[in-house]
Structures are given as structure tokens and as C-alpha cells.
Structure 1
Amino acid sequence: MSSGRKRTKADVCEAFVARLSERGDVELDSSLLEGIRQHFDRLPTRYALDVNVDGLDVLSHKRLLDEARADPTTVSFAVRPVEIVGPRADGVSSPHELTRANSKKLGQLCRPAFGSSPNLQALALEVGERAEGHEAEASSGPGPREEHPVFYEITIASVDQPKLLSRLSEALGDLGLNIREAHAFNTNDSFSLDVFVVDQWQPQPGQNLEELLGQRLLQMPPPPPKGGAAQQQQAVAAGPAPALRLPADPPPNLSMLAGPRPDSPAVDDWEIDITQLHIEAKIASGAFSNLYKGTYCGQEVAVKILKDVHDDSSQYQEFLQEVAIMRKVRHKNVVQFIGACTRKPNLCIVFEYMSGGSVYDYIRREGPLKLSAILKLAADVARGMDYLHQRKIIHRDLKAANLLMDDNAIVKIADFGVARVIETTGHMTAETGTYRWMAPEVIEHKPYDEKADVFSFGIVLWELLTCKVPYADMTPLQAAVGVVQKGLRPGVPANCPPLLGELMEACWTGNPASRPSFRELTPRLQHLNAMALEEEKRQLEAKPASKQGLLSKLRGK
């Protein structure tokens, strides 16, 4: 293979097959070879490039996924102790005294299936430093030696489902396990492979980690039935003719019902007349809904239409919550709610159409922005968030992708699918949002308040300055582990003015009480914007003078 060409999944697959052949202890028949190739093909390229192909980890992952496919109602998992290899001062990788001590108790230990991520490299370095410290203590004199921690690798395969990662993380946390590393992969046939490296397992006499984990995983919500969407479409197709013709592939079937169903909210003045709603084109697609451009009573609108949703599903409750919140808010920097249909199966929300698209797309399309443009966008967001917080509403998923722009480049906050009204205690505990933007107290399932949105806003400021995704070299869960355990932050960009850098760091500080409120942030951003505009104006005015001065010198005047 040419050194100038990037490795592909097929390259890694063939390299793994070659290693298996060299081992001589695995019978490579045509069925197994085909299964291995299908395994790599179904998983993302990131899996192939990161997985350890020197051992039998790939076969273990394949077996677990095959078990999950054979019975999609179950969760297949495996637990094993692993060896964390850290670099010594001389640059040589060594398992150190730590893993040698563990080997006496547990036998020969394997390396983790994934050992190249920044989190695990940092863990290896930490282990190495700790082990060298123990060696120094041991050589300095006699005395009882500290018991070294044992690291375990937990691999879980199951049908992919909403919030699976957070549920698995919660399950491990309930057992007292500390997640040090995490990898999550989705297959192209809707299954999930999640691999965790954990420590701090402190068993009571007679306890077995594998047995306890199995019992805890049985408590997780069952996966949604396979084929549910197809069955629902067939049932709807047998009823009245669809009222909405959606340019989707395949198009969901929505029918006009005579009146509200018993389990739907009562008709209100914001309940739309679905015969007046016309869909033109799909704008975007998400895990639980699709977004369309359309018209309602002649007005250009955006329509969020939910996908397959069951009466008792959390997605249906989040839909009702989003409607309840959006119909109460009206602000220049919040997307305007027009109406909704809460009568199944036509679950949709209609709001003003934002022709400028998302800020996420805008900053990538326009490239690095002027400082004044960044601060203007940030001030728009801060004003909208201040309004929401005054109304006791926490957004909980603030990021550039959830910020939309109108014709005049005014930014408006959107996507209230996971937003919540602050409870009377002033704190909440449910984990939700997007890991890369999530505050550490939310990741850890601790009580949190509106300051969690301020943390996310700090990450949004970093997005605006860099036009990049935070922690792009990590999986979302790896980033979450780093934020909580290592104090990981994206870092202030080199092109960031000091005053804005200080503001950004204040937003993402670990202590929520130390973060500024949006009521404080808004005037500070407006002041910085005024300063930036003045400086840009000064530089613009100085350019012609500078050019004239240079020309005068060249002319000898």
C-alpha cells in the first residue's frame, strides 16, 4: 500500500485477516472471512482505524454484535481486566509495577481494544507517573505497599436507541465505576457497539462485576420494536388519504383526523388547521424528526415533523414539552412559534422560516468572521438566553447548530425539544443535551440550574471564533469524560482578544456559581462589540493614509 494513500476499512480488514492467518490458532473458513468483512463494512471507518488488530478484539466485537442481532431485545456484553501501558521517562512503554501487581491477581492482562485516543494516552501517562512514584516509595524503605487499581474494559452491543450512551454511562455509574475512556460506534444496520475503560470497582465479598452489570443492564428500557415505523405507515395508509405530501424518502404518511384523540391535548387556538399546511422541501433530518420548508395560510414557514413516535415514548413527551414552552415565548432573538398539530399521527410544530440557516452552517460557509460579527452574533444569543432565563426556561442544548439566522442576519435561538421550565427548587438533575457542549454538572447527573446554559454558551463562543467542532479528535463521550475528570476545555484560540478570552473562560469554569449570568454577559458583549467596531473603523481609515504615505516615500516626496 502506498504511503501517500490513507488507509481504508478494507485495508484494515485485510490486515486483520492476515494477522489471524499468521496466528494459526483461528480456523479461517469462508464463512468467518465473510463475517469479518461484513463486520468492518457495517461499522464506521473510525472503528477500523482505531481498533487493535493485533489481538482478537475484532472477533469479540463481532460475536457480541451477532448475539445482539440474533435477539434484538437483549443486551450483549463482555467484561475483562486490561493493562494500561504508560510511557516511562526513558520513552519506553511499560506496564509498570501497577499492572504487574494486577497480573499476579488476574493473570496475563490484555491491552484495551482502543488505545490511541487522547483520553487513554493521558490515562497511560497518569498511570506511568503513579507507578514510578510507587517504585520510588518502595525503594526508599520497607512498609505496606498500596493496592493498585484494576482497570476493566466493558464492551456492550445492542440495538441502537435514543440516549443509549447516557443510559449506559448511568448504569456504570450506579455500580460505582469511574469511566476513564469511552468509544461509541453505530452500525449501518441500527446496532450500537460501546466500549468503556473503567476503574474504581470496589466489590464486596462474593460480588462479581459481570453478574452485577448484567443485572443492572436488565433494568434499562427495552429497545423500540424493529419495524415499528413500517407497521405504523401501513396502518395509516389503510385510513384516510394523507393530507400532507412530504418530499421525503420514504415519505411519512400523515392523515387528517376528524378530531383530537383521547390521549392528545385539547384543541387550542394555536392548534393549526393542517389542510392549510403545505410542504415544499426537506431542509434537515434528525434522529427523531425531519425539518421541512413550507407555507401555512400563505406564510413561509418551517415545519418540524416527528418521526415514528409512540404514545408512551419520551419523544412524545418532549414534543408536548417543546410546544408548551414555544407557545409561551416571544422575543426578537427566539424563533417565533406559529402553531402545532398535537393530533396523532400528524405531530408537527410550525414556526417562522429562517432563511439564513443555522449559525453552524453560516460560520463554515463564510469562513473566519470579523471580531465585530462574532460579537454581534454572541450578543444576539445572550439577549435571547437572558429572556428565556427570566422566564425560568433552561434550553439545555445550546450550540451553533441550534441557532438560526433570518434575512437580516439576526440570530434566533431554536430547538426547544429538550428545554425545560426550572422547577421550584431552582435545580434539575436529568442529563440531556449534547456532550461536546454539556456542562460537567449535567454530565455527572448532579443538580444544575440555568448556569448550565452559560457553560454551553462559552463553547459556542469558541465555535464562533474557530469555525470548528469542539474536541473534534474525540468521540462525544470521550470529550464528556475529559471535561469531568480532566477539566478539559477547548482552550482560548490564539486569535481571541484577551477580554473575550476572559469572558469565555468565565463561562466554562467548573463552578456554576462562578459563571456570569446572561444578564451580565449581554452588556459586556455589547461593549466589546462597540470597541471592535471602533477598532475596525480606525483600521479601515488608516489603510488609505498608510498607502499614501508609502507612495509618497517611493516618489521621494
Structure 2
Amino acid sequence: LLREANLADNIRRRTLDLLRKTIQSARVIPKRLELSGVECDFDYSKVDTTGGFGDVFPGTYGNRTACIKVVRSTRSQTLDDLIKKNAVELAVSAHIIHENILPFYGVWIFGQKKLAGVSEWMENGNLHSYLKFCPDTPRLPLIADIIAGLDYLHGVNIIHADLKAVNVLISSERRALLADFGISRVVATVASKSGTLGTIFWTAPEIFIHDLAKNPDSPRTMASDIWSFACTCYEV
């Protein structure tokens, strides 16, 4: 149902919220999202970026180059622990379909306790590095793409929570696609929360003050996303 391009926004929003609640309760990843045929050599010299969520490697899925984002784990964490902690983000990511959102293929479970999200690989890298190599690139079309992607997320009650140029990827058609290499995307009927402050230069003042003065569970909101968007515009 969620893969229907013409699905009404209100139905998509309610369906995503139901999916979130179901996954949050069951703490499992739907079997249909588990991928086979994924290959990766895990060469750390080829790591594209390192974020709070995991390490990103180039790999293959079928006959396509893919982005393999391996969830970090501690020695004491089991595979079941990792699934319970990340099930909501991974399941919801698989149902976010928009031309300005990085396509997400599914979940790869490998080794004894390894878990990875598999997405489309973007050869042009992120917006920050792309503009360094192509400084004459028109900025406004890319900003418009970011607006479209963020508007879609907010339209289905999802808070990005870590918007900045390094989390915007550039497609082969030179379009901007929102991605997330830091704080988890969470469907939100109320403010989402994360114990990670994130990069302070893109963080709304109220979030930063909340983190320092009250407790580590600071609410991310659509308004704080807009602050981060404005900072990203200035960055670009």
C-alpha cells in the first residue's frame, strides 16, 4: 500500500503511523525487508562516511552498486538487541518513497550479529563535497530539492533531525536526495527524541539548551528541522 505513488497523503500518514506502532510493539523487522545477494568487502579504506548510526561502505546488491550502512554494536549487544533498537527506523525507511529521498532497498543480516541498511549508492557523494568539486553548480535547484524532500517527510509526520549538507546526497541526474547518517528517522505524532545532540552548528537553540540544562532526551520537532534547513542553506 505504501509503495503506491498516488496514495493520498492522509492515508499514507496514518498507515506509516500504524506501521511504526506495530514495529515498536513487536520489535521485529518484517521478513520481506530482509535482503539476500548483498556483497561487501568491508574495506575501511573505502569507508565513505562515518556517522553516529554506523559505518558506510560501498557494496553490491544484485547487479547494482549499493550503500551498506552497518549498524554499530558493542560486544555485549546481541543481534536481537540491534534489531529491537533499530527496527522502527529500518522498517519506516523502506516505505519512504520520494524522488528527493535516498531509495532504501532493505535490511541485510550477516555474520553472527551484524545488521545493515542497504540503500542506493550515489557516485556524486554528498552535497558538501560535491560543491567543492563543482563550485559553479547552481544552488537554487538543489535547495528546491531539499525543500521538496523535507516537505514530504513532514507531510507524513517524520522528523529528519539531522539535516545538513553532508546528509544530502547528489544523484547521477544532479538532484539532491535527503539521507540520514546520524540520528534515526522516527515517525512522529508527537515530538521525536534522541539522546544525541548532533552537530551543534545545525542544531536549533532550544534543542541545544534543552540538552544542556534539562536532560539528554531533547525533543526534535519540525520547527527544529526548519532551523537546520536554514543553516544548510547558509552552508550551501
Same fold (TM over 0.5): yes
In structure 1, how many angstroms separate the alpha carbons of the residues matched to 2:107 and 2:177? 19
Give unmatched runs, 5+ long, in structure 2.
1-25, 211-217
Could you tell me which residue of structure 2 aligns to residue 283 of structure 1?
47
Aligned counterpart for 2:129 among listed residues 361, 369, 372: 361
**Residue 349 and residue 447 in structure 1: after superposition, are their counterparts in 2 closer, same or farther (change >3 A)?**
closer
In structure 1, how many angstroms separate the alpha carbons of the residues matched to 2:60 and 2:127? 23
1:356: how far off? 0.8
1:321 aligns with 2:88: yes
5 Å-filtered alignment, 1:413-424, equals 413-415=178-180, 417-423=183-189
**Residue 266 and residue 374 in structure 1: after superposition, are their counterparts in 2 closer, same or farther (change >3 A)?**
closer
1:288: how far off? 4.8
1:418: how far off? 2.0
Q: Is the 8 A contact 1:441 1:448 kept in 2?
A: no
Deviations 1:490-543 (A, max 9, x none): xxxxxxxxxxxxxxxxxxxxxxxxxxxxxxxxxxxxxxxxxxxxxxxxxxxxxx
Give the helix-richer structure, 1 or 2: 1
Could you tell me which residue of structure 2 aligns to residue 297 of structure 1?
62
Could you tell me which residue of structure 2 aligns to residue 450 of structure 1?
222
1:387 aligns with 2:148: no
State the one-letter code of the partner of 1:405.
Answer: I
Could you tell me which residue of structure 1 aligns to residue 103 of structure 2?
336
Deviations 1:334-390 (A, max 9, x none): 0001010357512011111111101111122223x45xx111110001000000001
1:324: how far off? 2.2
In structure 2, how many angstroms separate the alpha carbons of the residues matched to 1:308 and 1:431? 16
Q: Is the 8 A contact 2:100 2:177 kept in 1?
A: yes
Could you tell me which residue of structure 1 aligns to residue 234 of structure 2?
462
Q: Is the 8 A contact 2:186 2:192 kept in 1?
A: no
1:427 aligns with 2:191: yes
State the one-letter code of the partner of 2:38.
Answer: L
Could you tell me which residue of structure 2 aligns to residue 375 of structure 1?
140
**Residue 390 and residue 314 in structure 1: after superposition, are their counterparts in 2 closer, same or farther (change >3 A)?**
farther
Larger RCO: 1 or 2 (CA < 8 Å, sep 6+): 2
In structure 2, how many angstroms separate the alpha carbons of the residues matched to 1:384 and 1:269? 25
State the one-letter code of the partner of 1:298.
Answer: N
Deviations 1:86-145 (A, max 9, x none): xxxxxxxxxxxxxxxxxxxxxxxxxxxxxxxxxxxxxxxxxxxxxxxxxxxxxxxxxxxx
State the one-letter code of the partner of 1:363.
Answer: L
* RMSD (Å) for aligned C-alpha atoms: 2.7
State the one-letter code of the partner of 1:461.
Answer: C
**Residue 342 and residue 452 in structure 1: after superposition, are their counterparts in 2 closer, same or farther (change >3 A)?**
farther
SS in structure 1 at match of 2:174:
coil
Provide the aligned length of Structure 1 versus Structure 2: 195
Aligned counterpart for 1:271 among listed residues 7, 26, 34: 34
Could you tell me which residue of structure 1 aligns to residue 204 of structure 2?
439
Give unmatched runs, 5+ long, in structure 1.
1-262, 465-557
SS in structure 1 at match of 2:163:
coil
Q: Is the 8 A contact 1:290 1:306 kept in 2?
A: yes
In structure 2, how many angstroms separate the alpha carbons of the residues matched to 1:292 and 1:430? 25
5 Å-filtered alignment, 1:48-87, equals none
State the one-letter code of the partner of 1:386.
Answer: D
TM-score by length of 2: 0.73
Give the strand-richer structure, 1 or 2: 2
In structure 2, how many angstroms separate the alpha carbons of the residues matched to 1:456 and 1:291? 23
SS in structure 1 at match of 2:177:
strand
Deviations 1:170-226 (A, max 9, x none): xxxxxxxxxxxxxxxxxxxxxxxxxxxxxxxxxxxxxxxxxxxxxxxxxxxxxxxxx
TM-score by length of 1: 0.32
5 Å-filtered alignment, 1:464-479, equals 464=236
1:283: how far off? 3.3
Larger radius of gyration: 1
**Residue 429 and residue 356 in structure 1: after superposition, are their counterparts in 2 closer, same or farther (change >3 A)?**
closer
